[in-house]
Structure formats: structure tokens, C-alpha cells
Structure 1
């Protein structure tokens, strides 16, 4: 049964490392969440390692720049693992072909920057939809519009057997008080229409493999039993942790704040009902990371 806690410090001494989601836990898409930053910095000061594990469709270096802008201090984390880096590796290995149609916003174009970690990467060329062998999806062009606007292109792509590489499996995020669609919502539609979508962020294994590699650069020999995953996404953060057989802390004041009736803390009955409906089993829960 999920245990509701008041502070990360109540349980943190059980774990050598944290895999921490960003959006909804450390920042709200506009600025840092002060209590979360303080809790992570304090955990590191006590000797723990913090790897930020995010479904951002960009490199860790671009995410680090964004964290600086949001005023998340470097004292709060050791390293970053992004779905973007995991997906970029697959793209440069030819997962969806060499000629690709890009879906996303201008700030996502760093996705195509060379990846130095690979030997003999495939040459990738951005082309028009009609010329494409594959689709690279970092998100919809308009994050406030329904993904249904892409149905005509997806019907054609499905008939041609084109694969879609999803660089961010999140369905939605909240930017401040406004909800936005992510690449996961677009990929979900394509899959429902009969197309083939490839996923590289949470809850899928590749990003956890990357997170473990990042962790090993800072702390050797940490076993899965010594890792706690923290996040507000039931389908990404919590199911991902369950799939990796690591403990999890569900932040209920993010995406599920209404359903869990979270103010300072979740309502126990509402939380239990939500957990049952979503078929998840987080180890712990709290309203806001603190």
C-alpha cells in the first residue's frame, strides 16, 4: 500500500540515488519549485546522487540551459538523462530512415545536432512530408491544438509503412496553469490509427539505461534497490519505475492534483481511488516535492 509522506527527508536515507522527473516536480514549466530545489540540494549535501530523468526531446546540455533560466541551481542535481538523447541515438542509427519529416517547434531543432557518442552515424536529412522515409516527433507545432489535426498526414504515412520516432512520450504537461499536448499524444494517435511509433523516454527501458549510465559516472555500484524514482506522471514516472523494479515517490500535486484532491497533501481516499483506476503502485506519495 502506498505510504503518504510529509518530506523527502523522511525516507531519503534508504536510498543512494534519486531519478527525478523535472516538469511538475522540480519546475512548473515557468520557474523552479523552491521546496523541491531545497530538498534535492539537502539530499545531495548528505551524500546522495540526483539524476534528473526527463522526457524533454532535447539534449541534456539544452535542458541544463533551461534549468538555469528557471533558476534551478546546479547544487540540486548531479546529471541529466533526457529522452531526447536516447531518441537521438536511435535516429542517428537509422531507426526511421535517413530522410525524415520533423514535427515540433523551432526550439526543438537542436535534436538534429550531431551526436558525438556514436561511431559512423547515419546522415539525416530533413525533408518534406511527401519525401519522408520516417517521422521525427518532438511534439505538435501548436501544443494547444488537438493532435487530430494530423490525421490526414498520418493516414497517408500509415499506408506507406512510415515509422514515427517519439522523442517525448508524455501526453500532456502543465505550463504554469495551462495544459499542453506533448509528442506522446501525437504518437498515441498514430498508433491508434495503425501506425508504428517508437518510444525512447519514460516509461520505456532505454531512458533508464541512460540514467544508470549517467549515475555510474558519479556513483559506482548503485543497485536498483538503492534508487528511488520521483515523478508526477502515473503512466510515465510511476509505471516506468514499476517496470524497472525500483521504488517510486508519486508527486500528486502535479498532473493528478484534481483527481487526488491534493492541497498540501493528497486526500487518502482520493489517492487510493486514483491509484486503483490508473493501475499503478507507487511506494510513497506526497503533494509537492519538499
Structure 2
């Protein structure tokens, strides 16, 4: 297996009507926007393409738009935003399946206060004591540096009562600048490992891609390109939805491999990772550029 190196999005743009673009690790690093990525999205839209930003953040699109504005990302770089947080809210609101239909009205929230409003307006009540809850809403850590050792003891009462967990972010890790932090996906994984039941929304699950295709004027999957640094989320999710993908290696992959973000990674590392996840992306780019 040899995954080709893509020198710029411009070499692929004519094949696609729409882009699904990851944020953290692709468009920004959690602190600053990547100007080259912003320029690439603006250029794609100038050619008539549509861009949906697809994030596993456990927040609303409005919150993400404010964050991007603060980083200097202009709204001319995208047409719409879909998040794992919104997908979670919609699944609860629509009672998407029997799992959601069975959820009780009271939840205990694990995450920052800014994310606690995710289910506001859906006839759900936040509990301050997990013993009063019907389910756990997991949005991630509450403060920088928090670990599973800090969190899991607090979840023991929920496990003992058999409470289901709803994870609003399937990501396991994220880089904030150069610091790696755990995400809700890692907490949810640990919850299941201890015998708990759990449901997640966002990448790599097909339901969020169906919502995104609707935002791209119902573009055909074969005319859509996904771009992101998460091989287990962005690239696997695209594969499972019949969408081509470009793997950005300058985010989490470069961190794991111990190489500079802008460096082209050794082909052996790329091929091994793709074999392990059973994916074959259309190509790799260290950073998203035009």
C-alpha cells in the first residue's frame, strides 16, 4: 500500500462539489488558525464548491462559529457547521432510535460549564448529583490536565446503577497547541470497559455524514471529499460513508510520531497506520494547503 502525497487541494478540487473539513488539527491547533488551510477553503468556495466544517466538538455550531471568529477565520471560508454536539442534540430531540427513546429526563453532566447547555430546551433536567440522574451526558474533561484517574471514581455510582452514557464527542485525544488532552471518547471507552452502556454521535458514525450531505445540497457521496487528521474518525468515517478522504498528518499523527507538523511523514508510518485502520485515503497532506 502506498498512499500518495497531495501537494495542494487545488490538484483535487475539480473532482468534488463539496468538502467536509475537520477543525482541530486541520483548520486550527486549538489556539491559532492555520492560515494556509483558511486560504484553501476560501479558494475552493471561489470555484463554486461548498464547505461544511465537521467537528467532533461537543458544542453547538454557533459556539464553534464564535470560536473561529476569535481565531480570525472568516465566515467566507465555510457554508455550514456540523458538530458532534449538534448531532447529539438532534438525536435526543428526534428520539432517533429505541436507545434514545428510553432515555429518562434527568442527566448528570461531565464536562466544562460552557458545554452544559447542550440539551437546553429539550425538556431535560440537569442534576448536580449523579444519584438523581437517569443518564450521564459526557462532553469531556472539566479542566486542563484532567485524567481518567480523576474522572472514573466519580462515575462509579453511575456504573453501579447501570446508567447509560451519552458521549457528545467520540474523539479520544486532542492537541491544545502542543499539549495532548483526553476527550469524551476516551472517557466513554473507559466507561464501557467497566461494564457501562454508551452511545456516541459524530465522526466516524454514518448518521452525522448523512446530515452533512444534506447541508451540501444533497451532493452525491462520490462528489464529496473529507479532510481531517483523525484516521480513526475522519478517515474511517469517510470510508464507511462512501466518501473520499485526504489525511492531514500534521495534527495528531505528527504528534504521535514525534515529527514536525509540516514534515512529510515516512511512507512506512503512513502505510502501517492505514493498514491498521483498514483505510486507503485518496492521499495525505502534512498541512491543508491550496
Q: Calculate the TM-score normalised by the size of structure 1.
A: 0.91
Partner-residue secondary structure (3-state), 2:257: coil
What does residue 224 of structure 1 align with?
221
What does residue 204 of structure 1 align with?
205
Q: Is this contact kept in 2: 1:266–1:286, CA < 8 A?
A: no
TM-superposed CA distance for 1:269, in Å, is: 2.4
| 1:108 and 2:105 matched | no
Deviation string 1:170-208 (CA, Å, 9 cap, x unpaired) is: 111111111111111111100111111111010012211
Partner-residue secondary structure (3-state), 2:252: coil
TM-superposed CA distance for 1:245, in Å, is: 1.3
| 1:272 and 2:279 matched | no
1:146–1:229 Cα change, 3 Å:
same
TM-superposed CA distance for 1:59, in Å, is: 1.0
Q: Is this contact kept in 2: 1:92–1:124, CA < 8 A?
A: no
TM-superposed CA distance for 1:158, in Å, is: 2.6
Partner-residue secondary structure (3-state), 2:20: strand
Partner-residue secondary structure (3-state), 1:3: coil
What does residue 133 of structure 1 align with?
134
> Which ranges in structure 2 are unaligned for 5 or more consecutive residues?
none
What does residue 284 of structure 2 align with?
285
TM-superposed CA distance for 1:256, in Å, is: 0.4
TM-superposed CA distance for 1:8, in Å, is: 0.7
What does residue 28 of structure 2 align with?
27
| 1:170 and 2:171 matched | yes
Q: 2:232 aligns with which of 231, 235, 239?
A: 235
In 1: Cα distance, 2:147 partner to 2:180 partner: 12
Q: Is this contact kept in 2: 1:32–1:72, CA < 8 A?
A: yes
What does residue 117 of structure 1 align with?
none
Partner-residue secondary structure (3-state), 1:110: coil
1:250–1:281 Cα change, 3 Å:
same
> Which ranges in structure 1 are unaligned for 5 or more consecutive residues?
115-120
Partner-residue secondary structure (3-state), 1:142: coil
What does residue 151 of structure 1 align with?
152
In 2: Cα distance, 1:97 partner to 1:238 partner: 34
TM-superposed CA distance for 1:160, in Å, is: 1.9
Moved more, 70-79 or 140-149: 140-149
In 2: Cα distance, 1:88 partner to 1:11 partner: 34
1:260–1:249 Cα change, 3 Å:
farther
Q: Is this contact kept in 2: 1:265–1:288, CA < 8 A?
A: no
| 1:251 and 2:248 matched | yes
Q: Is this contact kept in 2: 1:260–1:274, CA < 8 A?
A: no
TM-superposed CA distance for 1:271, in Å, is: 1.5
Deviation string 1:88-109 (CA, Å, 9 cap, x unpaired) is: 1233456232010011112212
In 2: Cα distance, 1:184 partner to 1:274 partner: 20
Would you say how many aligned residue pairs link Structure 1 and Structure 2?
A: 279
1:132–1:93 Cα change, 3 Å:
farther
Deviation string 1:76-120 (CA, Å, 9 cap, x unpaired) is: 111001111110123345623201001111221231333xxxxxx
1:224–1:93 Cα change, 3 Å:
closer
